[in-house]
Amino acid sequence: MESAAPRAMAATSAKRPRRILAIGNHLGFYPPAFFPEKAGADYVSSQTLKNIERHRKDFTVFSNLDDGAHGGHSGVHAFLSGGIRKEESGGFPEKNISLDQVAAEYSGSTARFPSINAGLGEGTDMCWNRTGVRIPPINNPARLFEALFVERSKSERDLERTRLEHRGSVLDALRESAKSLHGNLSNADRDKLDQYLTSVRDVENRLQMSEVWLDKPKPRPAIAPVTDEDRMHIEELPLFFDLLTLALQTNSTRVATFEIPMGFTTSDLDNVSSGYHGLSHHSKGESKLEQLKVVEDYIFSQIDRLFDGLREARIFNDTLVVIGSGMSDGSTHSNKNLPVLLAGGGLKHQGHIISPADKHRRVPLSNLWLSSLQWFGVERERFGKSTGTFSQMDFS
């Protein structure tokens, strides 16, 4: 009815879509430069956080959070998976699924892409599906630009439609064949079969999502076309961040990740002559620490720019930005007391939260991820190694 239209419109506009953007740095951040000394909202900014000082009311930094993962580099990939490493994932029903993929399953076909995983080079092995398979990042911004904004011809779409239909028929046959085996298998083999069928269902869901968006026009880009070049330089950060901001703004996705790996070129930065991996293994050498500061300052200056872009796109308060690493200190290869920061999301940010360091009162990082997923809209009681939600911060 006409008289009810204003109220209906108000209700619709109030339900703004929520988004998650997770940024992971394989080598962590130099702890003395990252963590503030004082807790609360009136902390003095650390050397690294000074680069995003303008946004301090809109982010929270956390101390003493981790999930007990170990192994240095081999423990980094558990950062977003609730502390569950691939080697121990057999005891968990969802394997080592990462936070972004849980959110992507929830958002489904509400956006063109359930998730977008991007990164410099080969990434940090940060993103995993529920069958324990790694999702590699798109490491060429030209390919990401093409996926987001370049329309395919009708013949290309028809070819893709045929491919999807063919895949669908093959999956139907596989599923029926697998079901016929079920009664003749041992318990262990039934578990393997169930895992297999879960994988089939995941593929089916992705195929259905692809069909939904196949003929829908893509949005027009707000930036110039990106050319195809060989790119593994840290200077690509602003371009990638612009593309991910546009992807979230245009509802091309509601879940995005960006991975910063061990190896990429940093020598284009002023006063930096060594590679990032070598600088992270500084052994407290003054020269390396000075160069490491330049690199980490650059990364956070681009995060500062990212926050500005999300504000300008008017989605900062609807986007929960996760920044951190599965390694705290690249020099000691420690996976304890991880550098973790949450920004945006319209939350009541608290500056610096210092969780208990005592192992008997320790708060798992998984609790923070569980609260983040609930903020996104996912209804679940556990994630990874969580013991509950993160009670030190309000996510309502």
Identify which of 28-42, 61-75, 170-184, 231-245 has the greatest average pLDDT.
28-42
Tell the residue number behind the tokens 């990252």, with chain if given: 34
Distant-in-sequence, close-in-space partners of 75: CB < 8 Å, separation ≥ 6: 69, 85, 326, 327, 335
> Rounded to whole angstroms, what are the CA distances from 394 to 14, 314, 372, 374, 390?
20, 22, 10, 12, 8
Pairing assessment for the beta strands 116-119 and 255-260 based on DSSP bridges: parallel
Confidence of residue 331 (pLDDT cuts 50, 70, 90): confident
Geometric angle at alpha carbon 310, from 40 and 144, rounded to 5°: 125
Q: Judge whether residue 1 has pLDDT over 50.
A: no
The torsion angle over the Cα atoms of residues 324, 330, 332 and 337, rounded to 10 degrees, is: 0
Domain borders along the chain are 12-149+223-376, 152-216
Fold of 12-149+223-376: Alkaline Phosphatase, subunit A (3.40.720)
**Cβ(92)–Cβ(75) under 8 Å?**
no
What's the average model confidence in pLDDT over 241-257?
Answer: 96
Q: Judge whether residue 287 has pLDDT over 50.
A: yes
Q: Judge whether residue 229 has pLDDT over 80.
A: no
Ranking 6-10, 93-97, 206-210, 371-375 by mean pLDDT, the lowest is: 6-10
What's the average model confidence in pLDDT over 54-60?
Answer: 97
The secondary element (H helix, E strand) that includes residue 299 is: helix 286-312
Task: Report the distance separating Cα 136 and Cα 275, nearest Å.
Answer: 23
Q: pLDDT for 119-144, tens place per residue?
A: 987 767 899 998 888 888 998 888 89
Q: Judge whether residue 86 has pLDDT over 70.
A: yes
Q: Which two tokens stand for residue 67?
A: 């999930």
Query: Can you list the positions of beta strands (E) in the chain?
Result: 19-25, 59-63, 116-119, 255-260, 319-324, 340-344, 351-354
Q: pLDDT for 292-318, tens place per residue?
A: 898 899 999 999 999 999 999 999 999
Q: What is the pLDDT of residue 11?
A: 41
Tell me the pLDDT of the chain averaged across its residues. 85
Task: Report the distance separating Cα 292 and Cα 296, nearest Å.
Answer: 6
Ranking 71-85, 96-110, 148-162 by mean pLDDT, the lowest is: 148-162
Residue 174: what are its φ and ψ, rounded to 5°? -65, -40
Distant-in-sequence, close-in-space partners of 241: CB < 8 Å, separation ≥ 6: 258, 302, 303, 305, 306, 309
Q: What is the pLDDT of residue 204?
A: 60
Identify which of 93-102, 158-167, 172-181 has the greatest average pLDDT.
93-102
Q: pLDDT for 346-369, tens place per residue?
A: 999 999 999 998 888 899 999 999
Q: Judge whether residue 6 has pLDDT over 60.
A: no
What's the average model confidence in pLDDT over 239-268?
Answer: 89
Q: What is the pLDDT of residue 36?
A: 97
Confidence of residue 184 (pLDDT cuts 50, 70, 90): confident
> Rounded to whole angstroms, what are the CA distances from 155 to 147, 151, 152, 158, 214?
17, 12, 8, 5, 12
Q: What is the pLDDT of residue 3?
A: 42
**What is the model's pTM?**
0.84
> Rounded to whole angstroms, what are the CA distances from 322 to 169, 189, 284, 371, 375?
39, 38, 28, 12, 13
